[in-house]
Structure 1
């Protein structure tokens, strides 16, 4: 090869490399702009897909009842879900607003009177004496107590306002997600077919199996995490309402949020038990304690029963994925984390059993090859 040919090939290589780099750079720039445009819609669309997968079996049953009207069935399911979301939010928000307004009016009028602490409070180990003195100060000299703890009170009120604002934003996001889910459910077959084509193109013939696994995992997490959280909140909330615990509705909502976030319900239950213990008699305290603790610890029985149903993936894999995903990316990570770990588990099993599957495939092909050669010889 002469020097001139080498220079020409070198120039051609450099030109191709520069051209490829420019094309890849333009593609990355286009992807960056596209991501910025669709970023506000990613979370609602993901939630819409998750809700659609979870509620599609219910929609199909309602569709048969309505004579095959899928659109009407989807719209009814969405309206029911929005109603279930909005009514408790309005009730709890109104209760919090009225409570704060009433407390502010009473404090400004100077008519507020708190019952003094009992000796039971002072007898509590470690924190009893300090808690007794603070409670006694609020009961005997409210104005001085407010002045002393004014920064903490302002911080508490700011936290409540922030929580309400975040809850309102989340409510709007969920309503949008439900509307998107309604569209997904109404056209489930077409969307599923299109996604399956793309998935097969991207990851091969295992795409359909993984799609089924993803759908089953979503339903498993919904039942094993959100379903268990609702059951726990219902049991604990019923105990609070029966024993007339103040702000029972708000405490029940906080319990539900904690349980969905995979935090122990005892974070709410134990302070309420302490309140009942300090204000009620022994019988009331015992009954409430048994009831509330049964609800707070019921997830230890319910999760193994409900999580992992319909999925050929061990329950600890689903649970670890759900908790890790939630810690990484919030509530939606409950589902994404479980799905990702389930797929990795299937990939691991495929890798472990690859040689065995290859041998079985070879054993199946050898008789067919032998029969073919015998046919050709005859």
Structure 2
């Protein structure tokens, strides 16, 4: 090959490289701009898909009762979900407003009376003396107590304000997700067919099987995590309302969030038992303690019964995926983590079956 040919090929190579780099750069720019445009809608759409998959069996049942009107069935379910979200928020907001109004009125009147601690508080091991001292200070000299604990009070107030703002934004977010879910459920056949075509093109013929696995995993997590959290909240919350625990509405909502986050319910139950112990008699305390402890520990029985139900994946894998996913990506990670580990488990079992099939097809000579 002469020098001119080499120069010509080198020039063509460089031109192709430059042209390819420009095209790839333009494609990356297009992808970045596209992601920026659709980014605000990704999480609501994912949540809408999760809710739609979880509620689809119920939608089909209601559709039969409504003589095949799928849109009406999906709309009724979506509106019912929105009502269930708004009702506790209204109750909690009303309770907070009444508490703030009453506190403001008491502060303006200057007639602030905090009942003093009993000897039971001082008798508590390790923390009793310190708790008795702080409580006694607030009950006898409120001004000095506020001055002493002003930094801690500011931190608590700012945390409560931040939590309230986050709760409002989350409420709006889930209302949007429920509306999207209603659209998914209404046009489920068309959406499912389109997604199945894309999935088969991307991962092959096992796409349909994996789609069924994903749907079953979502329902399993819904039952095993959110369902159990709801049961625990109802049991413990009913005890609070029966025994007249102050702020039961707010505590119940916080308890539901804690249980969904897979934190132990004893975080809430222990202070409640302590409060009833310090204000009530022994019999009431014993009954309340048994009632709330039963609710707090019920997840140890209910999760093995409900988690993994209807899925050919071991319950520990679903549970680890749900908890790990939540720690990595928040509440939505409960579902995504379980789905990802379930798919990996299926891939691993498929790989083992291929190995065993190969051994059967090609047995070694004795």
Q: TM bucket by the smaller chain?
A: over 0.9
SS in 1 for 2:143: helix
Q: Distance in 2 between matches of 1:101 and 1:13?
A: 77
Give the structure 1 partner of residue 303 of structure 2.
Answer: 303
Give the structure 1 partner of residue 63 of structure 2.
Answer: 63
Give the structure 2 partner of residue 245 of structure 1.
Answer: 245
Q: Distance in 1 between matches of 2:303 and 2:36?
A: 39
Give the structure 2 partner of residue 153 of structure 1.
Answer: 153
- 1:1-378 correspondence runs (5 A): 1-358=1-358
Count of aligned pairs: 363
Q: Point out the more displaced range, 27-36 or 15-24.
A: 15-24
The C-alpha deviation readout for 1:270-303, integer Å capped at 9, x for no partner, is 0010011111111011000000000000000000
Note the residue ranges of structure 1 that are not aligned, 5 or more in a row.
364-378
The C-alpha deviation readout for 1:68-123, integer Å capped at 9, x for no partner, is 00000001000100000001111111211221221132133221212111111111
Q: Distance in 1 between matches of 2:144 and 2:197?
A: 70
Shift of 1:197: 0.5
CA, structure 1 residues 290+302, in 2 after alignment: closer, same or farther (shift >3 Å)?
same
Shift of 1:358: 4.6
Q: Distance in 2 between matches of 1:198 and 1:162?
A: 42
Shift of 1:54: 0.3
Shift of 1:133: 0.7
List structure 1 runs of 4+ shifted beyond 4 angstroms. 358-363
Note the residue ranges of structure 2 that are not aligned, 5 or more in a row.
none
Q: Distance in 1 between matches of 2:355 and 2:148?
A: 73
Shift of 1:346: 1.0
Q: Distance in 2 between matches of 1:4 and 1:164?
A: 75
SS in 1 for 2:234: helix
CA, structure 1 residues 105+151, in 2 after alignment: closer, same or farther (shift >3 Å)?
farther
Q: Distance in 1 between matches of 2:15 and 2:273?
A: 76
Do the aligned residues in 2 keep the contact of 1:93 with 1:164 (CA within 8 Å)?
no
CA RMSD of aligned residues (A): 1.5
Shift of 1:10: 2.8
